[in-house]
A and B are shown apart, each in its own frame.
Chain A
Amino acid sequence: MIRLYDYVLSASCYKIRLMAALLGVTLEQEAVDFHPGRAHKSVEFARLNPAGTLPVLVDGDLILTESTAMLVYLAQLSGPEWLGPSDPKSAAQVQQWLAFSGRLAASLGMARLHDMLLYDGDIDAWRAQGHAALRELEAALTERRFAGGVWLVGDAPSIADIACFTNVALSQDGGVSLDAYPSVRLWTRAIRALDRFVEMPGIHRLHELRPAPEGV
């Protein structure tokens, strides 16, 4: 079974947990004491991943330390349709969004770690960079809506959507509201409404998708 070294509050780890759930794949999850223990920075952990980061995905002798690579791997194995359309333009756009997801982690993700777990850094810069990235995402998703589409690339959700979703959906944890980005909000709802979607702390269940209990 594929093993995921995981931290429950990590937006990057959540990308992998979410992708696996959507694919119907079970991962062996090993919890790492990221906070308060900082176990990912230990000498022991460095033997697995010298970069000292989470998530880490291990499948036999394959060790992956970049979340976008893990998304590609899981999709290749268990749901190639999640890689997006294979024409050159679409494939390039998927790659572009995977790279863009790094900016979301470096801005919105860091603002969240600052506000929530007391990470030290330039919070104003992180939030400003987060808003700048959200503006670009809003513009792109708005244009997709004009064309009748919901997802970042193609007519179905792809690893591009999953890679970008987690830090965006958790942005208010870092003091960045999505109120100014209606297309982004509709897109996050579409992802949250997917079959087999799983939440993480900071993202509530969509109770509206379940009918009210009898008698209510």
Chain B
Amino acid sequence: MIAPEVLNEWYPVAMAAQIRAGQRRVTQLLGQPITVALQDGAIVVTGQGGTMPVTEAFGHVWACPGTPAHPLFPIPEALETGRRLVDVGVVRVKCSPLRAVENFLDIAHFPFVHTDVLGAEPHTEVNRYEVSIREDSDEVWATKVTFYQPQAAKSAEGGIVTQYMYRVPAPTAAVLYKTCPARPDALDVIGIFVQPLTEELCDVWPWMALYDDTTPQADLIAFQQMIFLQDRSILENQIPCLLPLDPGMEIPTQADLTSIAYRRWLKKRGLTYGAQMVAA
């Protein structure tokens, strides 16, 4: 029995362009089979209980298996002129959808997993940053995050100290805002939209809204896929599979403030699909 709090959220289920091109996607959401297809010019998501509420945003199709508790979160940067919008393409990972999000929020792994791109020894220290749960939107935010990166983006030439903000606007979605090498006054936006197929299997849909006038689309996609695929063998080898929401089994440090807030936020809101509650 899946909690109503979980059912009443929005989840990504397909790339809009692929469905509009005629693809019929047979997949799963929260353990139930669903189909995503074009019907009379409209994108329809059908589950065992019939059609679901659907919305299209940020290049993807979002569905709600219950009754939407609120509209899908906004990302205003997606509408700014001059931005390159990039659908990075789905990657399937044998892990809890919550583990996939938590990994996206973490920077301490950069020197070891994204070596010589997002981080490198000896620049391993994670400086103090700020985390809050914003009451108006009920979202987790991490701000004033900084980290030295040898190659922060496809458009970067050489190492820079990157400024980051992280945002969790939904249980299985996260957005990061980072220093844009091409335009120092703007932030590049990278999203990770996670479709929970089951509690132990997810389809991850990365997406980006960047300022970059020169890099070919295939290179932007390749760079982001490279980063995400470096995390995949980590995600598939964490024990337990389900994200522990109770303390005791896993030991966080100051660098893990975002993850601590995320886990607390999930627990408080009853968003426990993909989580385990008792420290086993």
Whether A and B touch directly in their complex, counting CB atoms under 8 A apart, is answered as yes
Q: Does the CB pair A37–B122 fall under 8 Å?
A: no
**Which residues of the partner chain A approach B225 to less than 8 Å between Cβ atoms?**
8-9, 35, 201
Instruction: Tell me what chain A mostly uses at the interface: helix, strand, loop, or mixed.
Output: loop
Q: Does the CB pair A213–B122 fall under 8 Å?
A: yes
Interface size class of A (residues with CB under 8 A): 20 to 34
Asked if B146 lies at the interface with its beta carbon under 8 angstroms from chain A, I say: no
Asked if A47 lies at the interface with its beta carbon under 8 angstroms from chain B, I say: no
**Which residues of the partner chain A approach B90 to less than 8 Å between Cβ atoms?**
36, 117-118
Asked if A173 lies at the interface with its beta carbon under 8 angstroms from chain B, I say: yes
Q: Does the CB pair B91–A32 fall under 8 Å?
A: no
- Most A-side CB within 10 Å, residue of B94, B217, B233: B233
- Most B-side CB within 10 Å, residue of A9, A32, A210: A9
The count of residues in chain B whose C-beta lies closer than 8 Å to any C-beta of chain A is: 33
**Which residues of the partner chain A approach B229 to less than 8 Å between Cβ atoms?**
9, 116, 201-202
Asked if A205 lies at the interface with its beta carbon under 8 angstroms from chain B, I say: yes
Tally of contacts, chain A with chain B, CB under 8 A: 76
**Which residues of the partner chain B approach A213 to less than 8 Å between Cβ atoms?**
121-122, 124
**Which residues of the partner chain B approach A200 to less than 8 Å between Cβ atoms?**
226
CA distance A200 to B222 in the complex (A): 12
Asked if A143 lies at the interface with its beta carbon under 8 angstroms from chain B, I say: no
**Which residues of the partner chain A approach B230 to less than 8 Å between Cβ atoms?**
201-202, 204
CA distance A163 to B221 in the complex (A): 26
For the complex with contacts A172-B236, A175-B94, A204-B115, 17 further pairs of A-B residues with Cβ separation under 8 Å are A8-B226, A9-B226, A31-B221, A33-B218, A36-B15, A36-B87, A36-B221, A37-B221, A116-B91, A116-B229, A117-B89, A117-B92, A118-B90, A204-B112, A204-B230, A207-B121, A213-B121
Q: List 30 A-B contacts (CB under 8 A).
A: A9-B225, A9-B229, A31-B216, A31-B218, A31-B221, A31-B222, A33-B218, A35-B89, A36-B15, A36-B18, A36-B89, A37-B221, A39-B218, A115-B92, A116-B91, A117-B91, A118-B90, A175-B94, A201-B225, A201-B228, A201-B232, A202-B229, A202-B230, A202-B232, A204-B230, A204-B233, A205-B115, A207-B115, A210-B121, A214-B122
